[in-house]
């Protein structure tokens, strides 16, 4: 089940858990431009909805999974694992909402194109005639007079 969190106007964080991997996608858009960066992290299956908090100039993400508690820091487009204790009280908690799909989710493959019918051969060229001159292409022949 993917989740979305708005970090700032025009900047979204998407989180999903597929098998043993947590997928983070940072998507930003401004003035007709869109950028996206993604990270895949080994966490195991989630046991709780992930938590997101804004701390200083970055964002902390907390995932509780079958393999333990994982904390990640996002600054700019960089994602790092936080190993030391994290003071969640110092951060501003950001809400996460359930979404239907992650951005850039793969479209189903297109059906193959139907093959073109074979081309029909051109009919033989009729003999050309101009005044008293005659010319034919098969066999190549030219008569004058």
- pLDDT, tens digit (0-9, with 9 covering 90-100), for 47-103: 999 999 988 778 899 999 999 999 998 887 788 888 777 777 777 888 888 888 777
Number of domains in the chain: 1
State CA 127 to chain mean position distance. Answer: 60
Burial zone of 50 (CB within 10 Å; 0-12 exposed, 13-18 middle, 19+ buried)? buried
- pLDDT, tens digit (0-9, with 9 covering 90-100), for 22-37: 999 888 887 778 888 8
**CA-to-CA separations, 56 to 2, 3, 62, 75, 88, in angstroms, rounded:** 26, 23, 16, 10, 12
- Of 64, 14, 65, 83, the closest CA to residue 73 belongs to 83
Q: What is residue 22's three-state secondary structure?
A: strand
Is position 20 within any domain? yes
Q: How confident is the model at residue 106 (pLDDT cuts 50, 70, 90)?
A: low
Backbone angles phi, psi at 67, to 5 degrees: -100, 5
Is position 7 within any domain? yes
pLDDT at position 105 is: 57
Cβ neighbours for 144, distance < 8 A, ≥ 6 positions apart: 132, 133
Report how far residue 134's alpha carbon sits from residue 111's, in angstroms, rounded to the nearest whole number.
53
Is position 122 within any domain? no
Q: How confident is the model at residue 104 (pLDDT cuts 50, 70, 90)?
A: low
pLDDT at position 3 is: 93
Is position 105 within any domain? no
Is the pLDDT confidence value at 40 over 80? yes
The parent domain of residue 84 ranges over 3-98
Burial zone of 35 (CB within 10 Å; 0-12 exposed, 13-18 middle, 19+ buried)? exposed
Is the pLDDT confidence value at 13 over 80? yes
Is position 21 within any domain? yes
pLDDT at position 4 is: 92
Is position 70 within any domain? yes
Is position 134 within any domain? no
Is position 32 within any domain? yes
Which neighbouring-strand residues pair with 82? none
Q: What is the mean pLDDT of residues 111-124?
A: 90
């Amino acid at each position: 089940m993917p989740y979305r969190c708005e970090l700032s106007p025009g900047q979204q964080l998407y989180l999903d858990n597929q098998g043993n991997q947590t997928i983070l996608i940072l998507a930003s858009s401004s003035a007709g431009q869109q950028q996206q960066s993604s990270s895949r992290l080994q966490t195991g299956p989630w046991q709780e909805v992930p938590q997101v908090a804004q701390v200083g100039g970055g964002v902390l993400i907390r995932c509780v999974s079958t393999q333990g508690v994982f904390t990640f820091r996002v600054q700019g487009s960089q994602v790092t694992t936080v190993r030391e204790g994290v003071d969640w009280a110092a951060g501003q908690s950001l809400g996460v909402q359930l979404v239907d799909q992650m951005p850039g989710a793969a479209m189903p493959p297109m059906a193959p194109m139907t093959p073109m019918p074979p081309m029909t051969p051109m009919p033989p060229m009729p003999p050309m005639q101009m005044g008293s001159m005659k010319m034919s292409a098969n066999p190549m022949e030219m008569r004058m007079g």
